[in-house]
Every structure is written in C-alpha cells, then in structure tokens.
C-alpha cells in the first residue's frame, strides 16, 4: 500500500526509511562483489603474461571499483545503525542471533577487505607484483565474506533456526551456530545473491566497454574486457538460475505466503500453473482486498508445482488456503490463520503471567504458564496481528517484480552469448546495434537486482522474523515525526551521493584507460 503522508505511523515511516537505505545501499554492493572478481582475474593475467594491456585494464576498472566501494560503505553503516535506532525491539528480541553474523562480518570480513584495499590502490610501486596480486584477491575474498555473513543474518530472518527462546529475558538466544550458518535458506540466499551480483557486474563491464566501441575508442581494451565479462556473465547467470531454483524450493517450504504472492495464487492445488505473463486486478469475488485476480494471462501447466517441489503434481497452497489452513506436501498440518493468531495471543499472555509469577516466587503458576507458552510459541508472532489480512504481503509488487527479474535474466543470457561472439570475432564494423543493447542492459541489471530484493523482503511482510516477530512489534517506540525527518534527510543525502557517484564514474569512463594505445586500437582488423 502506498504511504499516506498525513496518517503514516512510526511503523510505516521506519519501514520506508529502512527500505530507502537498503535500496540505495544495494545499488553499490553488487558491482563491488563482481567487479572485484574481474579485477583480480585481469591482474592475474597481467602477472602471468606481463601484457601491459591487462595492467591498464586492471587499473581502469579498479578506479570505478574504488568510487563504488567508498559510497557503498557509507550507506551500509547507516543501514546497520537503523537496527538500533528504529528497530530496537527487534534488536532486543533477536540481537543475540542476528548480531553474531554482523559482528563477524565487521571484525573479520570488513577489516580484511579494508586493509587490503589500501594495498590494492596505493601499493603499486611499494610492494611486489605477487603481493599486490594477493591483496587484490583478498579484497575480493573479503567483499564476498562480508556478503556471506550479512546474508546469513538475513536468511535467519527468513527462516529462524538454531535458537532457543529465553522467557526470563524475552530474547531468542543462539543454540546452534552451525544450524544458523549452514541452513539451506542461508546457503541458497548467499549463492543466489552473489551470483546475481556477478551478473550485474558483467553487464556493467560489457556496457561501459561497448560505449568505447560506439565512440570508436580503445577497441582492444574493450574487446578483452567484453570477453572476460561475457565469460563471467555466462557462468554467473547459469549459477543464478540454478540457485534461484534452489531458493524457490526453500521459499515453498518455509514461506508459503511469499511463494503464493509471487504467483498471485489465491486458491492452490496439485499441478499448479505458473503465470508467465499476466495482469492483476481487484475482484469483488475475493474475500480480501489484498488478494488480486489474474487476467490476460499466459500460463505454463504444472510449472509452479515443478518450481516448488520438482514434482508436476505437488500441492501448492494459495493465499486463501494459508488463511483457512491446509496440509502441506510434506504432510504438515498448517492451522487456520485465525487459530494461529489465537495461539499467539495465548503465548504472549502466558509469557506475561510467567514473568510475574517468577517475581512473585509462585512456582506452580510459573510452570503452568511456561508450559502454555512453549506449546504456542511457534505462533508467537501471529498474536500481534489484528486481522488475517495483515499476513498478506503486497501481491502486485511481489508478482510483477518476480517476472521483471526473471524476464531480464533471460535478456542477460542473450547479451552474454552475443557479446562473447562479437568480441571474439571482432565484429566492430557490423551488428552496430549490439553495443547499444549492452548499454541498455546496464540499468536493466540494476532493476533486476532491486526486483530480486523486493521479492525477498516485501514478500515476507509483515514479518521481520518469519512467524515470530511482525514489524508492528519490532519497531522502536519513538515519535513518527523524528523518523519522517530523518527519512527525508537520508533521501536527499543518498540522492546527492548517487548523483555524485554517477558523475565521477562518468568522468573516469570518459577519460578511458590510461596508457591505452588508442590509435593502434582503432586500426584493429574487423575480421
């Protein structure tokens, strides 16, 4: 639902502020992850072959990496601070678990990355070639380890495992670190996010290099960059598709409401169809205004069941099924939403009674209330919902974002294959539309990346922690005006940073790679 500025609560403003920061931050992160890999490969080729063209390419792309890295760090720090300022109840409820991966990320990955990034940028004439190469690879490793721990924390919010609730402190405490770290959700979340970041970076490198071809500059530099990026892009997009398939199966089992929203599926069943293209609209026949009807649709029979379980006849619940209660494909009985809300209220009330009984030293009441709490804890978060409608995410945004992401992914496959052939065959005087397609794919890659996160994060609403803590119980009890004020301050600041980054990047791109023999490049044979 769109934000009503006149009636927005602290929950809505906090959500929008976090979304704003996350969207801006993730404009910089994926390019950092993938570009670091390609820079390390370029420098490795230079060290092995002593071909200075690869050194020039390394230094050129390293400049663009540095600009992007600096602004990414700035937005990331603000993002982490918001857990304490805007989401203090969340931080209290799961801080022992959520804080551990972030602490490891800060102590290990960030310092590893920031230490070696200094050597990478300023150590060209101060350290040996091999040590400099090691530093470049360590920057790549550090960036990806940083992403790993952040995504482990995010995956735990999607599928909370490996913890035990402490009723005395009203906090979840980590019971099994390895269950958190190696959960299937964490593995699929990390692999899918990182490989999609490599895909975006490949699109960026091909797009920038294609701009040089359009301008008839630096042909050999562009050809080598396109070839490397195309290979990285082909491998990464294939892995992105595979990990996306694994992620879909995890979502089906752990977040069925998100999976139903991705399809706009109101009533499920066996052999569920997948909507390839469709239009959502409201219908008076639906029991909730948050549910939408699909029309003008092209559907693939049984495909949704295949995506969810690799079984053409598997049962996929729809939104109404989840509200009414159903039996999953694994045989698990899922209670009606109204019953889960009632169980959640019992858990909340039992927790209050337990804590009071402990204060009053009433052991029998404490034991009985703790038993009631434990029996209903699985539905604890539902007790904070006031209606079943609140458990339904924004279906149109999730539905359309998923299809934009998948559709653009197919476009990137075509781009990488054609670009590799184009660069290898040196078809610079033919197929002049291809560099323009590559340029077009640069913003498309960012759109696809943001759509992926919209599906992941908006699809699990209203939960900060799936089934345990909704956003209305996670927010800090502060004045909405303060959050609104900082929202607009961040919006202005981040926009200025984004504009500054684009201008600096464009300036560096126009300058081109240093020491490139542009005149010789222009005379390359177009065989």
Range of weakest confidence among 244-253, 420-429, 477-486: 420-429
Residue-wise pLDDT for 31-66, tens only, equals: 999 999 999 999 999 999 988 889 999 999 999 998
Angle (CA) 156-159-163 rounded to 5° is: 65
Report DSSP letters for 260-286, one per residue: HHHHT-SS-EET--EEEEEEEE--TTS
When pLDDT is cut at 50, 70 and 90, the band that residue 26 belongs to is confident
Comparing CA positions, the residue from 466, 336, 343, 327 lying closest to residue 393 is 466
Does the pLDDT of residue 27 top 60, yes or no? yes
- Indicate the average pLDDT of the chain: 88
Calculate the alpha carbon distances from 198 to 28, 48, 130, 188 in Å: 12, 24, 25, 15
Residue-wise pLDDT for 438-455, tens only, equals: 999 999 999 999 999 999
Residue-wise pLDDT for 394-408, tens only, equals: 999 999 999 999 999
- Which pLDDT value is given to residue 94? 84
Enter the pTM of the model. 0.90
pLDDT (mean) for 223-227? 92
Answer yes or no: are the C-beta atoms of 404 and 413 closer than 8 Å. no
- Which pLDDT value is given to residue 185? 92
Residue-wise pLDDT for 283-339, tens only, equals: 888 888 888 888 888 999 999 999 999 999 999 999 999 999 999 888 899 999 999
Answer yes or no: are the C-beta atoms of 473 and 89 closer than 8 Å. yes
Q: What phi, psi does 28 have (nearest 5°)?
A: -105, -30
Answer yes or no: are the C-beta atoms of 43 and 136 closer than 8 Å. yes
Instruction: Copy the structure tokens of residue 129.
Output: 């070639």
- Which pLDDT value is given to residue 517? 53
- Which pLDDT value is given to residue 82? 83
When pLDDT is cut at 50, 70 and 90, the band that residue 171 belongs to is confident
- Which pLDDT value is given to residue 512? 85
When pLDDT is cut at 50, 70 and 90, the band that residue 516 belongs to is low
Provide, rounded to the nearest whole percent, the portion of the chain with pLDDT above 70: 95
Does the pLDDT of residue 521 top 80, yes or no? no
Q: Helix 219-254 vs helix 52-85: angle between axes, to the nearest 10 degrees?
A: 30
């Amino acid at each position: 639902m769109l934000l009503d500025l006149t009636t927005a609560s602290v929950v809505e403003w906090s959500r929008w502020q976090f979304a704003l920061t996350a969207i801006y931050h993730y404009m910089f992160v994926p390019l950092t992850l993938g570009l670091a890999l390609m820079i390390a490969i370029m420098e490795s080729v230079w060290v092995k072959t002593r071909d200075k063209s690869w050194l020039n390419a390394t230094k050129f792309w390293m400049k663009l990496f540095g600009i992007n890295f600096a602004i990414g760090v700035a937005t990331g720090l603000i993002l982490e601070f918001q857990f304490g300022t805007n989401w203090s109840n969340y931080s209290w409820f799961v801080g022992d678990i959520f804080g551990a991966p972030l602490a490891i990320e800060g102590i290990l990955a960030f310092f590893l990355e920031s230490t070696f990034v200094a050597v990478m940028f300023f150590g060209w004439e101060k350290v040996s070639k091999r040590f400099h190469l090691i530093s470049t690879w360590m920057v790549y490793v550090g960036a990806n380890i940083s992403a790993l721990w952040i995504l482990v924390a995010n995956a735990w919010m999607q599928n909370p495992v490996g913890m035990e609730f402490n009723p005395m402190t009203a906090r979840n405490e980590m019971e099994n670190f390895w269950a958190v770290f190696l959960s299937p959700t964490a593995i699929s979340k990390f692999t899918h996010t990182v490989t999609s970041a490599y895909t975006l970076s490949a699109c960026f490198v091909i797009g920038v290099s294609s701009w040089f071809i359009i301008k008839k500059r630096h042909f050999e530099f562009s050809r080598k960059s396109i070839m490397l990026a195309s290979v990285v892009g082909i491998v990464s997009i294939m892995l992105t598709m595979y990990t996306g398939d694994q992620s879909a199966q995890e979502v089906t089992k752990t977040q069925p409401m998100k999976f139903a929203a991705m399809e706009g599926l109101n009533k499920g069943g066996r052999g569920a169809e997948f909507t390839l293209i469709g239009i959502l609209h409201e219908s008076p026949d639906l029991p909730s205004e948050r549910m939408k009807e699909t029309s003008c649709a092209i559907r693939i029979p049984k495909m949704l069941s295949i995506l969810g379980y690799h079984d053409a006849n598997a049962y996929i619940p729809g939104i109404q099924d989840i509200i009414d209660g159903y039996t999953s494909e694994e045989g698990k009985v899922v209670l009606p939403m109204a019953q889960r809300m009632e169980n959640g209220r019992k858990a909340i009330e039992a927790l209050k009674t337990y804590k009071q009984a402990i204060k009053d030293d009433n052991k029998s009441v404490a034991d009985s209330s703790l038993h009631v709490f434990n029996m209903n804890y699985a539905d604890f978060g539902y007790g904070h919902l006031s209606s079943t409608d609140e458990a339904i995410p924004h279906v149109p945004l999730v539905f359309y974002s998923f299809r934009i992401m998948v559709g653009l992914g197919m476009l990137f496959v075509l781009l990488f294959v054609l670009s590799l052939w184009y660069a290898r065959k040196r078809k610079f005087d033919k197929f002049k539309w291809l560099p323009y397609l590559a340029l077009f794919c640069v913003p498309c890659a960012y759109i696809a990346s943001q759509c992926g996160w919209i599906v992941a994060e908006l699809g699990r609403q209203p939960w900060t922690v799936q089934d345990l803590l909704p956003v209305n119980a996670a927010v800090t009890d502060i004045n909405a005006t303060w959050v609104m004020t900082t929202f607009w301050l961040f919006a202005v600041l981040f926009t200025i940073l984004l504009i500054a980054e684009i201008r600096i990047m464009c300036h560096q791109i126009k300058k081109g790679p240093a020491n490139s023999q542009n005149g010789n490049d222009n005379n390359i044979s177009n065989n």
